[in-house]
Structure 1
Amino acid sequence: MTFTDEQLALQDTVRNVLGRHPDPWPVLCAQVGVAALAVPERHGGLGAGLREVQIVAEELGRVLSPAPFLGSAVLATHAILETADEEAAKRLLPRLAEGTLAALGWATEDGSWDPDRTAFSARGSVVDGHAHYVLEGDLAEVLLVVAETDGELGLFEVDPAQARRVHTPTMDESRHLAEIEVTGAEATRVGTGDFRPALHRLRDTACAVLAAEQVGAAARALDITVAYSRQREQFGRPIGGFQALKHRMADLYVLVETARSAAYAVTEPDADVAHLAAVAKTYCSEVFSRVAAEMIQLHGGIAITWEHEAHRFFKRAHGAGQLFGQPHHHLPRVVPTLE
C-alpha cells in the first residue's frame, strides 16, 4: 500500500491543522476542503476518491476528533451521490462541500444498520419514524432519512424543523449521536427506485472510512504506550526494556499495520468492496479494542484515572465497534455460511 505525493500532502496538511487549532473543523473545510472531498467538481467539490476520504478519517482518528466528518461529509454526502439525483445533488451538495452539516437517519433502536431495514416509513411524501444513533443528528441543517415506502426503501429530505431531535449522551463523548423522531412530516424524495442496493454500498463506504479512523486511533494509542514504556522505570530500568513487554508491543504493532492494510485494501483496483469492507470493519474494530485494552494494561494504575487519556481511546474503541454494525454482524459477509 503506497500513497501518492498528493495523498501524502493531504495527510500532512490535515495533521498540521489538527495539531494547531482547538476547533479544526472550520479550518479543515475552508482551507483544506475536507467536506468537499467526495463531492464532484461540477457541484463545487474536489472529486476525490475513497482513499483520500480514508486518509482524512485516519488523521481525525489519531486525535479522537469530534469533527462531523463521518456523519456529514461521508454518510450523508454519499447517500445523496448514491441516488444519482442530479437536481437534489445540485441543490444540496454545494452546501455540504462548504461545510454545512447533514445527517442521515437510518438505524433502529436495537442498533441495526441492516440495509434492508430502516426506522422510518413513508406514505407518499409523509414520513414517520424514530431513528437512533444518528451522527450529528441534532446539529444538522440538512436532514435525510431512509424510509420504507410501497415495499421499497427510499431516501427522503425532511425539514429539520419538523423533527424532534435529541442529543444522545454516550460513553464516548467525542462522538456526537442523536435520536430523530418525525411524525407526519412532509418530505421530499431524493432519487427514484429502491434504495436498498445503494444502501448496501453506502454501508460499505461508511465501514471502510470508519476502519481507517479506527486504524488512526489505534496507531496513536500504541505510540503513546511505547513512549510511556521508555519513560516509566521499574527495578532501575525502563519497562520498555523488558522482553515480555517488548513482545506485547511488537504484537500490537503487527496488528495495527495489518489493520491499516485491511482498511485501505477496499480502495485497491478491482477490489471486492462488499467483502473487503466487511473484513475491514470486523478486523479494525477488534484490533482497536485490543490496542486500547493493552494501552490501559501497559500504563498500569495511571491509565484508570480521568487525568490520563487512555480512557478516551478505550471509549472510542467501544463506541466505534458498535457503529454500522458490530463485528459479528459482518462476519457472515467475511466468511459465508458453508452449506
Structure 2
Amino acid sequence: MDARFTAEQDDIRRTLRELLRKRCRPEDLRAALDTPAGHDPLLWTALAGRLGLPGLALPEAHGGAGCTVTDLALACEETGRVLAPSPLTATAVLAAPLLLALGTAAQRARLLPRIASGELTAALAVPGPRLATALALTGGNGGDWAGGGRAGGVQARRAGEGWRLYGQAEQVLDGHSAGLLLVAAHTGGFARSRILLFLVRGDAGGLVRTRQTALDATRPQARLELRDVAAELLGGDSGDSGDSGGAGDAGDAVLAALAAVGDAAAAVLACEAVGAADRALERTVEYVKRREQFGRAIGSFQAVKHRLADVYVQVQAARSAAYYAAWAAAHGERAGALALAQALEALRAAAADGIQLHGGIGFTWEDDAHLYFKRAWGDELLFGPVHRLRAHAADTAHLFAQGQEQERGQEQEQGQGQERGQEQEQGWAQEQGRVAV
C-alpha cells in the first residue's frame, strides 16, 4: 500500500476545501437546513458542475471521472469537515454504485451520465431502520428485512410487462428530494421470496414523500409511501420472469451487490467522519486557546491538554484506518465496517469533549458543537452502532475462530485426561480387591 496522495488527489482536496470555506460557512449551513430540500441547490451545482463529485468514481464511459473509491472518500473527508448538507452520500456513495453494478446497459446509459453531471440525484430506499442490515454492515443481509413476503416493508408484483410496488420505507436518506429512487422490495411470494431492486421516478404517481425530523439535520431523511407505484426492475426482466431459478440468482446478485456497496460506503463514511472529528477537535483547540479562566487560557491547564491529546491520538488512528479502508475498497478488499466503527467512535469523543470544553456555550443551539455530536450519533442510528460494526467485522474475519478451536481442543484434552484418570482409579480398585481376596 502506498500511503502517499497523488498530485490530483491533493488538488481535489485543496480545491474542495477552498470552495466549502466560501460556500458552506456555519450561517450558510443553518440556512440550508431550513429549506424544503435540506441542502443548498447552488452548493450542489458547484460540487457537481465545477468539481464533478457525483461522477468522481464512475467510469468515463458513463460521464464520470474514472477515479477510484479512494478519491471519492478523500473528497467526502472535506465535506465531512463542514458537515456539508448535500445529496452526495445518497447519490454517489449508495445509489450510483448499485446502478453501475446491477443495471442493464440501457439503464446505465440513460441514468449514470445524468447522475455524474449532477442533473439527477438518487436515493436508496429500504424499509424501516434497516439500511445497515441491507448493506451487510452489522450482519448478513439475507432474510426478510425487505418485507419477508408478509405485511410490512415493500412488496412488488407483476403488472403486465411492468411492476407495481406497495408499502412504506422510512428513514430514506435524501428520499424527499431525490429524482430517482432505488427501492428494495420483496417479490415472488412467501414460498419463493427474494429481494430485488426497482427504479422509481421521484414524480411517480402514487408515491407520497414526507420529510421527517431527524436527529442529524445535516442528513435529511424521508418517509416514502408507495401506493400502487409503477416501477422498473433494476437489471431488467431477463431471467427474472416467473419463478424460475434465474429469479433466485437475481436475488443473490442483489444481496451481493448491496454487501459490496455497503463496504465501500462504510470506507467513504469513515473518511467523512474523520473529517468531522478533525474539525471538531480544531474548533475546540481554537476555543481553549482564547478562553481565559483564573487569568490564563484554559488550554494551558494540563488536564485540558491531556484530554485533547487523547482525542488527537484517537482521530489520527481513525484517519489511518479510514485511509486504509478506502484503499482496500479500491483494490477489492473489505475493511470498511471496522474503519467506520473507529471513525464514529473518534467523532463521538471529539464532539463530546468539544461540548464539555466549550463550557456553557457548548450546550447552546447557537454554537455548532452540537451539530458534530448529532452527526456521530445520527450515523450510528443509520449505519449501525459501533459495537455491532466491530462484532460483524470480527465474525467476517473469523477473528475468534482459532481461539474457539483452541478452547475446544483444551476441553477435549481435559475430558480425555479425566477419562484416563477414571480408568486408572478403576484399575487400582480392582487390584486392591484381588489382593484382599
8 A contact 2:208–2:224 mirrored in 1? yes
Q: Which runs of 5+ in 2 are unaligned?
A: 25-39, 135-140, 147-152, 237-249, 405-437
Deviates more, 1:19-28 or 1:236-245: 19-28
Code of the aligned partner of 2:20: L
- Residue aligning to 1:32: 51
Supply the distance in 1 between the matched residues of 2:287 and 2:60 (Cα, whole angstroms). 45
Deviates more, 1:264-273 or 1:78-87: 264-273
- Residue aligning to 2:221: 177
Residue 8 (structure 2) aligned to one of 6, 24, 34: 6
8 A contact 2:274–2:343 mirrored in 1? yes
Q: CA deviation at 1:13?
A: 0.9
Code of the aligned partner of 1:136: D
Q: Which has the larger radius of gyration?
A: 2
1:142 aligns with 2:155: no
Q: CA deviation at 1:95?
A: 0.9
1:294 aligns with 2:353: yes
Code of the aligned partner of 1:137: G
Q: Which runs of 5+ in 1 are unaligned?
A: none
Residue 108 (structure 1) aligned to one of 125, 128, 138: 128
8 A contact 1:107–1:113 mirrored in 2? no
Deviations for 1:117-151, whole angstroms, at most 9, x for unmatched residues? 22322223222221111111010111111122232
Q: Are residues 172 and 189 of structure 1, via their aligned partners in 2, closer, same or farther at CA, if it must alter by over 3 Å?
A: same
8 A contact 1:111–1:132 mirrored in 2? no
Deviations for 1:145-183, whole angstroms, at most 9, x for unmatched residues? 112223222111113223111101112211111111212
1:153 aligns with 2:155: no
Code of the aligned partner of 1:87: A
1:1-339 equivalences under 5 Å are 1-22=3-24, 23=40, 24-99=43-118, 100-109=120-129, 113-114=133-134, 115-116=141-142, 117-118=145-146, 119-124=153-158, 125-150=163-188, 151-160=193-202, 161-162=204-205, 163-191=207-235, 193-194=250-251, 195-268=254-327, 273-274=333-334, 276-336=335-395, 338=401, 339=404
8 A contact 1:106–1:113 mirrored in 2? no
Q: CA deviation at 1:61?
A: 0.7
Supply the distance in 2 between the matched residues of 1:327 and 1:170 (Cα, whole angstroms). 20
8 A contact 2:326–2:336 mirrored in 1? no
Supply the distance in 1 between the matched residues of 2:391 and 2:365 (Cα, whole angstroms). 38
8 A contact 2:132–2:382 mirrored in 1? no
Code of the aligned partner of 1:132: E
Code of the aligned partner of 1:121: Q
Aligned length: 338
Supply the distance in 2 between the matched residues of 1:296 and 1:335 (Cα, whole angstroms). 32
Supply the distance in 2 between the matched residues of 1:2 and 1:321 (Cα, whole angstroms). 30
Give the RMSD, CA atoms, in angstroms: 1.8
Supply the distance in 2 between the matched residues of 1:96 and 1:203 (Cα, whole angstroms). 19
- Residue aligning to 2:243: none
Code of the aligned partner of 2:306: H
Q: Say which SS state the counterpart of residue 65 (structure 1) adopts.
A: coil
Q: Say which SS state the counterpart of residue 14 (structure 2) adopts.
A: helix
Q: Are residues 327 and 198 of structure 1, via their aligned partners in 2, closer, same or farther at CA, if it must alter by over 3 Å?
A: same
Q: Are residues 3 and 191 of structure 1, via their aligned partners in 2, closer, same or farther at CA, if it must alter by over 3 Å?
A: same
Deviates more, 1:263-272 or 1:315-324: 263-272
8 A contact 2:270–2:340 mirrored in 1? yes
Supply the distance in 2 between the matched residues of 1:29 and 1:264 (Cα, whole angstroms). 23
Code of the aligned partner of 1:13: T
Q: CA deviation at 1:324?
A: 2.0
Identity of aligned residues (%): 40
Code of the aligned partner of 1:104: L
Code of the aligned partner of 1:83: L
Q: CA deviation at 1:233?
A: 1.3
Deviates more, 1:178-187 or 1:56-65: 178-187
- Residue aligning to 2:34: none
The TM-score normalised by the length of structure 2 is 0.74
Q: Say which SS state the counterpart of residue 323 (structure 1) adopts.
A: helix
8 A contact 2:264–2:326 mirrored in 1? no
Q: Say which SS state the counterpart of residue 3 (structure 1) adopts.
A: coil
8 A contact 2:122–2:178 mirrored in 1? yes
Code of the aligned partner of 1:14: L
8 A contact 2:267–2:322 mirrored in 1? yes
